[in-house]
Amino acid sequence: MDRRKFLPPFAALRAFEAVGRLRGVRKAAETLMVDHAIVSRHVRALEAWTGVTLLDRSRGAGMLTEQGAAYHTRITAAFAEIANATADLMHVPDTRLLRLWCVPGFASRWLMPRLDRFHKRHPDIELEVRPSDRPPDFAADEADVDIRYVRDGSPARQDRIRRIELARPAVYPVISPSFPLGGGRLFGPLDLLRAPLLHEEGDGEWRAWLAAQGVTVPSQLPGVRLWHAHVCIDAARQGQGVALGNDFLVAAELDTGALRRLEPAEAAFRPAILGSYALMAREDRWSADPVAKFRRWLRAAIRNDMPPAPDEAGAHAD
C-alpha cells in the first residue's frame, strides 16, 4: 500500500511541530510569524485529518496528549531530516553554533574553567552551554551535544543517539579539614552512618558507594538532599557534612586544601567506580564540524587530567 496518501497538509504539520517544540500556540505563532488563530486552526485541521486529539487543551494550549507526544517525536525527526537534506543539497556549511547541555556538577567544577581553551582554539564556533540535570530531547532538537554522568546499569535513553565514554572516575568521600566527625575517629565505612551525609537529588550515590564498601545499607540514610553535586561539594567545603566527589568535581579543592579525602584510621576504603561521564549526540549530527571539533577537544582535555578514555572507535548508539 502506498503510504504517501497518509501525508497531511504540510502547513498543518509545521504548525503542530512548532506548538509541541515551543510548548505553546502563541510562541509557535511568533516563530512562524503568523497569527495565533492560524496556528490553532492548522492544529485542529491536523486533528480532523488524522481523527486523533493531539493537544490536551484542558492542561494548556501547548500540552500534548500521549498520542500527540509520540507523533510529535516522529515528525520532529522527519523535519530535521528534511532540513539536513535540503542544507546538503544547497551546500550550506554546518552551523557554527554548538548547543551543549551538561550535568551541572561537571559543567561548573571542571568544564567551565577550561572552556576558554576551546574558544581560543576554535574562535569560529559559538558555544551555548546549558547546565541541566534533565537530559535534552534530541528528537525535539533541544541540543547538539550532551554530557551526562551515567550510573552503571542505567537503561538506554533515546534511539538514534551515539555515545562515547569520557572517563570512569573513582568516587570517594570528602570533608572540610575543619569538619568534626561526630563520635570520634573513623575506623571504617560503617562509621559514616553516624555522620551528616550530603546527598544530591536522592541517596542513590551514597547507597551505591556504601554497598561497594560491603556495608548493609539501612532503609534511611542521614543527611540533607541538595540536588546538585556542586552544591554538595560547596556544603562540604563549608563544613556541613560529608560529600561524595571524584577528581572532576573536587580536584581543585583537594589541591588547595579546602577539602580532604576522608580515609579511615585502619584499612583504606575500597576503590568505587559507580558510573561514567559520557558525551552523546544525534547520529545525524555526530560528524558535523562543531560537534566533531568539540568532541576531539574534550577528549584531549580529559586525557591531560585523567587516564585515557576508551578509543573513539568504541562509540555506539544508545
> What band does 305 get if pLDDT is binned at 50, 70 and 90?
confident
**Dihedral of alpha carbons 80, 83, 86, 92, sign:** negative
Radius of gyration of the chain (CA): 24
Between 316 and 68, residue with greater pLDDT: 68
Average pLDDT over residues 159-187: 83
- The answer to whether residue 296 scores a pLDDT higher than 50 is yes
Between these two residues, 242 and 61, which has the higher pLDDT value? 242
pLDDT of residue 182: 55
Instruction: Judge whether 171 and 232 are in contact, CB under 8 Å.
Output: no
Query: Smallest Cα–Cα separation from 196: which of 138, 241, 261, 238?
Result: 241
Decide if 3-89 and 172-261 have a common fold: no
- pLDDT of the residue at 57: 85
Q: What is the mean pLDDT of residues 286-300?
A: 93
More confident residue, 47 or 31: 47
CATH superfamily of 97-169+275-317: Periplasmic binding protein-like II (3.40.190.10)
Cell 564540524 maps to which residue? 289
Spell out the residues 6+ positions from residue 304 whose beta carbon is closer than 8 angstroms to its own.
none
Q: Where are the domains of the chain?
A: 3-89, 97-169+275-317, 172-261
In terms of pLDDT, which residue wins out, 22 or 52? 52
Of 223 and 147, more confident: 147
Neighbours of 297 (CB within 10 A): 17
* Tens of pLDDT, residues 229-268: 889 999 999 999 999 999 999 999 999 999 999 888 777 8
Distance CA 291, CA 285 (A): 7
Residue 312 pLDDT greater than 70, yes or no: no
Question: Rounded to an integer, what distance in angstroms lies between the CA atom of residue 179 and that of residue 56?
Answer: 52
pLDDT at residue 54 in the model: 93
Q: What is the pTM of this model?
A: 0.69
| CATH of the domain spanning 3-89, picked from 3.90.1010.10, 1.20.120.1200, 3.40.50.620, 1.10.10.10 | 1.10.10.10
For the domain made up of 172-261, the CATH class stated in words is: alpha beta
* Residue 269: per-residue pLDDT: 87
Confidence of residue 310 (pLDDT cuts 50, 70, 90): very low
Q: Are 102 and 132 in contact (CB under 8 A)?
A: yes
Amino acid 59: pLDDT = 74
Most confident residue range from 85-89, 146-150, 183-187:
146-150
